[in-house]
Amino acid sequence: MKSVLITGAAGFLGSHLCDRFIAEGFRVIGMDNLITGNLKNLEHLFSHKNFEFYHHDVSKFVHVSGELDYILHFASPASPIDYLKIPIQTLKVGAMGTHNLLGLAKAKNARILVASTSEVYGDPQVHPQTEAYWGHVNPVGPRGVYDEAKRYMEAITMAYHTFHGLETRIIRIFNTYGPRMRLNDGRVLPAFIGQALRGEDLTVFGDGSQTRSFCYVDDLVEGIYRLLMSDYASPVNIGNPNEITIADFAEEIIKLTGTSQKVIYKPLPTDDPMQRQPDITKAREILGWEPKVDRAEGLKITYDYFKSLPEEDLYRKDHNNFEEYIKR
């Protein structure tokens, strides 16, 4: 039986990856420090004979006993609310955490896939964004802690590949959505749905002309799996190229939820990217991958998930104790 370590396992993407690899017949080791993850995302796996969980911060030395075939590094805060509250920890998990896991991969002779992001492109001057574009990033701006952590992650991963001959894969993830997102994590889709469910007006930052491209989580997981099993070591964009303005997206959410709220506008945050659209030519050609779930279908599934949550979740500002974590 092949074994895989998945960091960030209790998070949105990590938990779906655990499900996929269990379904594929792997022994799955989940690891998470639970600062942004939630064990509820994994509780259905706790009784499974091929799943085990470690409560651990990968910024510290990582040890896993026995053989290990694959590592998927998905541990990181992933929304502006998170990485603005814990900026140093965000940098550490991208830098020290990645270094620790690359060392583990080398020791175990395991293949490692690291989760990079479209944020490495910053506020892009090239549209759509191809993997050949080097980006337009402000390293000392408020978003720099996340953007530069991921850019460093890519650099050290490629260094281990070229210097040590380690089998590495780099995925650049564009906006993804689906069940198990945190309702109040600050990202646009859960923010809009949460506001609609609470009867609040939907908040658009800027004039709403900025664009995003939303990929349903099942499609993303399929792309991740195919990339891991491929022989391609350079970065690959995985996302849905179907682009939409935030203003139009707000109207879609209002229509989906059947609410009567209006859209209100607030100033655009510093360094917020104006365009996000992946060029997925590489994914199509190398992996034979492209998204299958259209936005209307994916949004309906996601909305039904959020509606099923306990009412107190709608009003919870933050279910993570950042202050306690920072003291550690």
**Residue positions annotated with a catalytic role:** 146
Token match 């998945």: residue? 6
Q: What are phi and psi of 234, to 5 degrees?
A: -80, 165
Terminal C-alpha separation, the chain: 37
In the chain, count of helices (H) and strands (E)?
Answer: 12, 13
Give the Cα separation of 292 and 240 in Å (integer): 9
- The string of DSSP letters for 161-203 reads HHHH---EEEEEE--EE-TT--TTSS-HHHHHHHHHHHTPPEE
Residue 310 φ/ψ region, left for φ over 0, alpha for ψ in the -120 to 50 degree band, beta for the rest: beta
- Exposed e or buried b for every residue in 137-169, given b needs 16+ CB within 10 A? beeeeebbbbbbbbbbbbebbbebbeeeebbbb
Give the Cα separation of 212 and 100 in Å (integer): 33
Give the Cα separation of 97 and 77 in Å (integer): 12
Token match 């409560």: residue? 55
Q: What are phi and psi of 229, to 5 degrees?
A: -85, 0
For residue 291, how far is the Cα from the chain centroid?
16
Give the Cα separation of 159 and 53 in Å (integer): 29
